[in-house]
Structure 1
């Protein structure tokens, strides 16, 4: 699942598989997908689509929805997650009879403070909530568990500790499974950076006592030359034929040391085989086809395509569509609370080209967060290229254009120079251009892509493509996106 699709969680119902992800400050939240074969996926919507389900908070980058767990039990889908923008409210639990929604109003699990909640039921119908207890001000507590009343959100016992992992830092992301008469607890350890790892333990009961796998970690890429690094945060599913599979997150690193990943944490697929009562990861079991990532959006119809999300706000207060006028984006704050003046979609390729046709004025950006972006601003008879890196913002070039309809282009291309020690190449170069009336391209700026990477910007999200308004309302006639992976 290319692009910013972190913290995967998966479940199967008959021959159908469902996959969901964390989405942080972006709304609607928790994108959800459907597949019949585990390798071809169709987005069927988002789980949290109403503000009553997902408190906004202050909209800061990498807040909002963290990792969750998707399960199916007794004829209903259940999804539990953490909204760190409402951290003291505990975990958020919603359910639905159809994975495409609508999903219920949330049940709050107020006595479970922390992140990464998991749900598992035993044969008697008892639901166990397992999560990472922690505080952003007081630090980590560890992996906790308690039986849960799913109808009220009440814990039926005081939380108690279970297995705390193999001894690595940042133990998190618990998932609990029953296989025959044995319970397995899967964890992520080592932090979600290069030391990320998956570990597992087993016990005769959900509470333990747990015995760690003698050959932990189950999966890690640390200190390897594998093209996918930071591998961890795994979830398991049975297949329709009785076999097992796993989804996990990883990143694709490029450029000079220490390496830069720009698309955020992506989702990968592996097989699982069992031996002597333990699972083993078979990394290359599946033939995964190349995802179709290109699109051409003319903003025709009554609703935005599901690819478009809003950071820290809502689409209905930020943008509107008209068959004659295209996409209208309100300047930040002009439509009240929830209007942020920017509409985003995930970038899904390492090499890509995108264009936006703007009537009057508007912006087109590639961004990691509000403090790290490169963009083009169309206003009157000029197109200005701007770079924002941390606390520094600078106009780096300008081109004259004929006003009215202007098409601007952003590209991610291979870096022009070599890597360290012969050069300083980042993961890519970002090229900002405008198309002239003859169909040619005027390059305004070429910038080092490392400054739009997680290694520089920090946080948990990835690059987004954004159209927006700058001071006054914008009219966007068209946005196109094309993969140029063959050029990488």
Structure 2
């Protein structure tokens, strides 16, 4: 019997899409998620049992595949759909405010993936206007791209046309018709994340509606053709945490798949708020899973999402023993290898004057995966200024910084900045950034967590500041991402000797 862990993927992994691939060696599952302005883009996780997941690569690993260098905060890689057909993996996605709607292919999900082809309007003039594309094939091979009709550019920017669909020629990547309007839910806002499935000679159109915050949910309709007309299920939404106090909120944006026991599953996004009012979600949108049952009337029923976290983890990296950075390292609007290099037993970042307030900082990091979390780095700032930070975006970040004889803790919350500074007598030290469960009155915490910033200098621990973690939560920040903890350089060369991160979800 498969154990369904929740989260299925910890930390910033929103908008999941999953596909099952059967072979002589047994089934495998491949899961893709959104990355917005971070690179490498669109991680691909693989599992052989739906319990243990391995990050095997990314879709966007080369310059030009995603045009995120100049996208605004929360732009970039939005909501992939991954499918497999005739030995080829297909992934469609919108590079929002970047290239547009894209189709990538690969024969190995670990990569390399293609450069990505624009899915064009019928007249070939530009990309289709919309987000969250799905790709499906009918029995004769006709390709259907179904998407959410949110216009992101031009005179109609911000207008929402509901769920749209076109047939597409994958040789020319051009729509073969003008978009048609599809079933767009039960009246909830922001109909999005459409997926088409053929099950027992019926076509099911599943979407998200209600927005990706507390009103989020999954709804479904069915018909005899992939183009409709569609009959609305009598018990929508299939799953939602709206108006509940469940520990997993914002559940929606689902994708269906047959699991290892032959039962159907739904992977979907959600958040784990922690406060007296369940108001603040420190880690952003994560990937969850829940069972699906097909009822006698032919409609699916989806169980509420149950919290079932894994045991704590510890990641320890000595860069002297590393020959390359593993897949977990990401950077903002740039590939990590363009900002840092392994040199002389350290990860060396070359500052260029940018700070974490800038859209392209010299910053490489890893997702915060646990509600309670501690990161320590051993750093040498003899030739530069830099530090350890937790980042949501350029307007919301907290860091501890060293260099030029000064040790500084800093909290940046939109236009509010606070610093705590002490003299620094050494250029080699350990920096600490801990996310700890808050003390609560009668056991009820009032915030998501408390961020503790400090350093160890010449064997002595210095605690600089404690910052309320609700200011770096998805309900406060402007981004759709999540917390990324990393090292950065502001000027000169900053050498990071080691990285230790450990956490749990108690």
Question: Which TM-score applies when normalising by structure 1?
Answer: 0.93
Aligned-partner SS, 2:97: helix
1:17 deviates by 0.4
Tell me the equivalent position of 2:17.
Answer: 9
User: In structure 1, how many angstroms separate the alpha carbons of the residues matched to 2:273 and 2:93?
Assistant: 28
Q: Deviations over 1:188-244 (max 9, x none)?
A: 000000010000000000000000100100000111111000000000112355421
User: In structure 1, how many angstroms separate the alpha carbons of the residues matched to 2:377 and 2:69?
Assistant: 31
Instruction: Confirm whether residue 461 of structure 1 aligns to residue 473 of structure 2.
Output: no
**Matches of residues 311-460 of structure 1 in structure 2 within 5 Å?**
311-322=332-343, 324-332=344-352, 340-360=361-381, 361-395=385-419, 397-418=420-441, 425-438=446-459, 440-460=460-480
What residue ranges of structure 2 are gaps of 5+ in the alignment? Answer: 1-8, 122-127
Tell me the equivalent position of 2:329.
Answer: 308
**Is the alpha carbon distance of 1:211 and 1:351 closer, same or farther for their aligned partners in structure 2, counting shifts above 3 Å?**
same
Tell me the equivalent position of 1:205.
Answer: 225
Tell me the equivalent position of 2:124.
Answer: none
Aligned-partner SS, 2:338: helix
Aligned-partner SS, 2:174: coil
Say which is worse superposed, 459-468 or 132-141, in terms of deviation.
Answer: 132-141
**Matches of residues 463-482 of structure 1 in structure 2 within 5 Å?**
463-482=483-502
Tell me the equivalent position of 1:51.
Answer: 63
Say which is worse superposed, 163-172 or 257-266, in terms of deviation.
Answer: 257-266
User: In structure 2, how many angstroms separate the alpha carbons of the residues matched to 1:13 and 1:333?
Assistant: 47
8 A Cα contact 1:107 1:152, kept in partner: no
Matching residue within 58, 83, 95 for 2:95? 83
8 A Cα contact 1:222 1:230, kept in partner: yes
Q: Deviations over 1:252-279 (max 9, x none)?
A: 0112446101101001111111011011
User: In structure 1, how many angstroms separate the alpha carbons of the residues matched to 2:440 and 2:265?
Assistant: 41
Instruction: Confirm whether residue 250 of structure 1 aligns to residue 274 of structure 2.
Output: no
Aligned-partner SS, 1:195: coil
Aligned-partner SS, 1:53: coil
8 A Cα contact 2:35 2:76, kept in partner: yes
8 A Cα contact 1:376 1:383, kept in partner: yes
User: In structure 2, how many angstroms separate the alpha carbons of the residues matched to 1:333 and 1:381?
Assistant: 18
8 A Cα contact 2:426 2:457, kept in partner: no
Matching residue within 183, 189, 211 for 1:191? 211
Instruction: Confirm whether residue 113 of structure 1 aligns to residue 129 of structure 2.
Output: yes
Aligned-partner SS, 1:68: strand
Q: Deviations over 1:402-458 (max 9, x none)?
A: 413110101111223539xx99832111110111323x4221101111111121113
Instruction: Confirm whether residue 122 of structure 1 aligns to residue 138 of structure 2.
Output: yes
User: In structure 2, how many angstroms separate the alpha carbons of the residues matched to 1:339 and 1:198?
Assistant: 35
Matching residue within 153, 163, 169 for 1:143? 163
8 A Cα contact 2:387 2:431, kept in partner: no
Tell me the equivalent position of 1:31.
Answer: 43
8 A Cα contact 1:270 1:281, kept in partner: yes
8 A Cα contact 1:63 1:84, kept in partner: yes
Tell me the equivalent position of 1:131.
Answer: 147
**Is the alpha carbon distance of 1:326 and 1:130 closer, same or farther for their aligned partners in structure 2, counting shifts above 3 Å?**
same
**Matches of residues 280-299 of structure 1 in structure 2 within 5 Å?**
280-283=301-304, 290=310, 293-299=313-319
1:57 deviates by 4.0
User: In structure 2, how many angstroms separate the alpha carbons of the residues matched to 1:240 and 1:41?
Assistant: 14
Instruction: Confirm whether residue 62 of structure 1 aligns to residue 74 of structure 2.
Output: yes
Instruction: Confirm whether residue 104 of structure 1 aligns to residue 114 of structure 2.
Output: yes
Instruction: Confirm whether residue 20 of structure 1 aligns to residue 32 of structure 2.
Output: yes
Question: Which TM-score applies when normalising by structure 2?
Answer: 0.90
8 A Cα contact 1:60 1:312, kept in partner: no
**Is the alpha carbon distance of 1:55 and 1:475 closer, same or farther for their aligned partners in structure 2, counting shifts above 3 Å?**
same
Aligned-partner SS, 1:328: strand
Where in structure 1 do 4 or more consecutive aligned residues deviate above 4 Å? Answer: none
User: In structure 2, how many angstroms separate the alpha carbons of the residues matched to 1:333 and 1:120?
Assistant: 47
8 A Cα contact 2:312 2:502, kept in partner: no
Aligned-partner SS, 1:451: helix
- How many pairs are equivalent? 476
Say which is worse superposed, 194-203 or 233-242, in terms of deviation.
Answer: 233-242
Tell me the equivalent position of 2:294.
Answer: 274
1:85 deviates by 2.8
User: In structure 1, how many angstroms separate the alpha carbons of the residues matched to 2:341 and 2:71?
Assistant: 21
